[in-house]
Structure 1
C-alpha cells in the first residue's frame, strides 16, 4: 500500500508540475489554453495592422485606458468605435485639448466626466490611430469569443513583465505542492499508526490467538527500519532536492531585478502633486531627457524657480534652502539603475522613438514616492523591441529596409526589424 501511495504521489507531483508549467507558459503568451494563436479577427482587419496597433496602445494608452470596460484613469475603450465617429476619435487622440477648446460638446462632456484629467497629445498619423482602433475592436471580439481570463492575468500594462510573473507563478505552485505533499505524508503516517493500534487492541481483546500470532501482533515496532529503508531515504532525498531546487530558482530568477524598489528620499518630493495635480511637464525638471543619454537630476536652482515664492516655510522646502546655503548637492537616491554592461540612451527612446515616460516608469504622475515600476530586465526590453513599430514615414533612410522587410515578412516593421535585438546594440 505504501509503495502504491508513493507512486501516486510521484505521478501527481509530475502532473501538477506540468500544469504549473503550462499555466506559466499561458500567462507568458497571454492566451487561453487551447486557443488558436493568430486566428483571424472579426471585421477583416489586417493582423499586421492589429499588431502595430497593439504595440502603440500598450506603449502609449494602457497606462490610462483598458481595451475592455474597466476604468483606470480614463474610460474603458470597449465599443468606442461604435459610440464615436472615426474622424472624431482621430482628432481626440491627436489633440484632445484642441478639440475641447473648440467647444465640441462630446469632447467637453468626456473631459468633465473624468475629473478634467488632461490627456496628452500624440503625434500619431491617421493610419496609426486607425491601427489602435483596430486593436481595440479585435480585443472586444476576442473577449466575446473567450470570456475568461488566463489565471487572472489580463492585458499587460506598459512595463509589466508577464514572463517574470509567470516564473513567480511556477515558484508559487512548487511551494504549494511541497506543502501539500508534506501534509499528506504526515496524515498518512498518523492514519496508519491509528489503524495499527486499533487492530492490535481488537485482536488482543476479541480473538483467541495462538502463540505465534500473538507474538506477531504484539511485537515492538523497530523505528530503525524506517530510516534504514531505501524507499524512505529516496523520498527524503527527493523532497530535499525539490525544496533546494525551488529555493534556487526563486533566488536566481530574482538576481538583478529591483522591481518595486522604493527608497526613502532626502526630501519628500511628490510626483503626484507636481506632475499629476499641477501637470508640470517632465522635461521642466529632467531637462536633458530628450537630448542626452541620461535624464538629468534636477538641481536645487530648478526647484527654487517656484519655491522661492511658493511654500517657502515648508520643512521640506527648507531642506532645499539649507543645501543652497551650504553649497551642497541634494543626495537623491537613484532608483532606476541599469548595469554598466548595458547601454541605454534616453534621447534615442524619448526623442527619436517617441516613447512616453509612463511606458517605462509607469503612472509616475500618481506616485507620491517613486518606485521602480518595470523590471528593466533584458527580456522586458527585447519584448518591447519586438512589438514596437518604427515610424518610417518621410525618412528615406528606412525606404530600402522597409521594402526588404515587406518582401520577406507580413508583420509590422518594428525596432527588432531594424536590428534592435542584436547583442551589439546594447552590449558593446
Structure 2
C-alpha cells in the first residue's frame, strides 16, 4: 500500500475482502472516528499501517482496553499515552475478535482514494490537534526547510567562489586583479550588507508570523480545560463504577437544547441515603456541601466546562434523541474522568468533519425511509451533510 512516499505493508492475516472492510467501517464510524483518521493526525494518531508497526495481538489488546495495557507497563502503550498528552482511549471490550479484525481491515484497506492524497502520520508524528486550519507543525517544517535551503545555497556559493578563485589564480592576471581575486573574507562587510539584513529580517518576520498564526488558531479553543469545581464530583465513580446513566442527572439532553446541570434535588435523590461515613454528623465533607445547598435552597455553583460561542447553535436533543449520538462521541471517556475536562476541540472544522462522515441513523424512523431510498439510488449511504448538515444557517441561526 503506497501513501505518497510512505509504503505500508498490512499484516497478511488482516482480511481485505469488501464485507470485512464494510463491517470495519461501520465499527470505525461508531467508535473511532471522533479521535482518529486513517491517514491524518486528529485527537489521536493516524491509524493506517498499524499492523505493520504493531503485532496483531498487541493491536487487539490496545483497541479493547488501552488503559489496562498502559497500567501493565507495556512500553509501546505507555509511550503512545505519554506522547498524546496522557489522553487515554476509552475501552472497547464489547468488540469481539472478529470485530477487531474487521476494524483493522478497514483501517488498512478502507477509503483508498482518500489515502492517495492524505499524509500517513502515525504514532510518531507528535502531539495531535483535531481542529481546522494549518497545523503549526507544518509551518515549523516549512521554516526549517527554508533555513536548510538557505544554508545549502551558501555552501554552494562558497564552493563556486573557491573553484573560481583557483581558476583565476592559474591565469596571468595583473597585480590589481590578483589582489581583488585573493582578497580575504570580511565577516563585518557581510553582516552589514543589504542581502544579509534582508535575509535576517525575512526570517524574523516569518517566525513572528508563525507565532501569530499559532495564536490565532488557538483562540477560543479550550481542549483539555478542566476547572476546579465547588464539589469534588467524580464521573469515574458515578458514571463508571456505578454505571449511572448520563440522562439521569442531565435531564434535558434528550428533550432540549441544553443538557442541564443537575440541581441539588437530583443529587439528594441518592444522597439522602448515601452519606459516606467520615465527616460532620457522619457525612463526608463533599456530600455535606450538597446538604448545605439543599437546606439553604441555593444552587451549587458548578463551573462550566464546555462553552460554545454565542454565535453557534447546538441542540443536544437533535443529536442524542434523533441522531443517536453517544455522549462519549463529543465528551470523550466521561465515565473514566475523576475531573471532567473538555475532550474534543469543538471547533467548527471538527463539527463539519463529523457531519461529512456520519451516516444518518434511519432504522426504525419512517421519516427518513423515502429520503434514504432516493439518496441511495444515486449516492450510497445518507450522511448528515446530505440533509443540510453543512448549511451555514444550521448552526449560525
TM range (shorter): 0.5 to 0.7
CA distance in 2 between counterparts of 1:371 and 1:42 reads: 38
2:294 partner SS: helix
Distance 1:163 1:405, change over 3 A: same
1:244 partner SS: helix
CA distance in 2 between counterparts of 1:235 and 1:56 reads: 51
CA distance in 1 between counterparts of 2:146 and 2:65 reads: 43
Please name the residue that 1:241 is paired with: 205
Please name the residue that 2:272 is paired with: 308
Per the TM alignment, residue 323 of structure 1 is displaced from its structure 2 partner at its CA by: 2.1
Distance 1:35 1:418, change over 3 A: farther
Distance 1:306 1:181, change over 3 A: farther
2:382 partner SS: coil
Distance 1:172 1:314, change over 3 A: farther
Give yes or no for the alignment of 1:427 onto 2:391.
no
Per the TM alignment, residue 57 of structure 1 is displaced from its structure 2 partner at its CA by: 3.4
Please name the residue that 1:4 is paired with: none
Q: Do the aligned residues in 2 keep the contact of 1:52 with 1:387 (CA within 8 Å)?
A: no
Deviations 1:203-228 (A, max 9, x none): xxxxxxx9x999x99999683x3453
Distance 1:44 1:327, change over 3 A: closer
Please name the residue that 1:413 is paired with: 382
Match of 2:138 among 170, 180, 183: 170
CA distance in 1 between counterparts of 2:286 and 2:146 reads: 50
| Structure 1 length-normalised TM | 0.60
Please name the residue that 1:257 is paired with: 221
Please name the residue that 2:252 is paired with: 288
Deviations 1:263-314 (A, max 9, x none): 1111111111111111111111111211111111111121122222322521
Q: Do the aligned residues in 1 keep the contact of 2:34 with 2:354 (CA within 8 Å)?
A: no
Distance 1:353 1:243, change over 3 A: same
Q: Do the aligned residues in 1 keep the contact of 2:25 with 2:106 (CA within 8 Å)?
A: no
After TM superposition, the structure 1 stretch with the greater mean CA deviation from structure 2, 321-330 or 50-59, is 50-59
| Structure 2 length-normalised TM | 0.65
Deviations 1:226-276 (A, max 9, x none): 453111111111111211121121011111111111111111111111111
CA distance in 2 between counterparts of 1:220 and 1:163 reads: 50
Q: Do the aligned residues in 1 keep the contact of 2:65 with 2:92 (CA within 8 Å)?
A: no
Give yes or no for the alignment of 1:139 onto 2:109.
no
Taking only aligned residues, the RMSD between alpha carbons, in angstroms, comes to 4.5
Matches for 1:107-186 after TM superposition, within 5 Å = 135-136=102-103, 138-139=105-106, 142=109, 150-153=120-123, 162=130, 167-173=135-141
CA distance in 2 between counterparts of 1:380 and 1:420 reads: 13
Q: Do the aligned residues in 2 keep the contact of 1:267 with 1:316 (CA within 8 Å)?
A: yes
Larger helix percent: 1
Matches for 1:12-161 after TM superposition, within 5 Å = 32-33=3-4, 42-45=16-19, 51-58=25-32, 69-72=59-62, 74=64, 135-136=102-103, 138-139=105-106, 142=109, 150-153=120-123
Per the TM alignment, residue 71 of structure 1 is displaced from its structure 2 partner at its CA by: 3.0
CA distance in 1 between counterparts of 2:92 and 2:100 reads: 20
Per the TM alignment, residue 383 of structure 1 is displaced from its structure 2 partner at its CA by: 1.1
Q: Which runs of 5+ in 2 are unaligned?
A: 8-14, 37-42, 51-55, 67-90, 159-174, 277-281
Give yes or no for the alignment of 1:228 onto 2:192.
yes
1:74 partner SS: helix
Please name the residue that 2:240 is paired with: 276
CA distance in 2 between counterparts of 1:238 and 1:334 reads: 43
Higher relative contact order (CA 8 A, sep 6+): 1
Q: Do the aligned residues in 2 keep the contact of 1:262 with 1:335 (CA within 8 Å)?
A: yes
Please name the residue that 1:357 is paired with: 327
Q: Do the aligned residues in 2 keep the contact of 1:389 with 1:414 (CA within 8 Å)?
A: yes
Per the TM alignment, residue 161 of structure 1 is displaced from its structure 2 partner at its CA by: 5.3
Q: Do the aligned residues in 2 keep the contact of 1:262 with 1:371 (CA within 8 Å)?
A: yes
Match of 1:388 among 332, 352, 358: 358
CA distance in 1 between counterparts of 2:246 and 2:318 reads: 16
Q: Which runs of 5+ in 1 are unaligned?
A: 1-30, 77-116, 122-128, 155-159, 193-209
2:32 partner SS: helix
Q: Do the aligned residues in 2 keep the contact of 1:52 with 1:132 (CA within 8 Å)?
A: no
Q: How many pairs align?
A: 313
Match of 2:296 among 294, 313, 326: 326
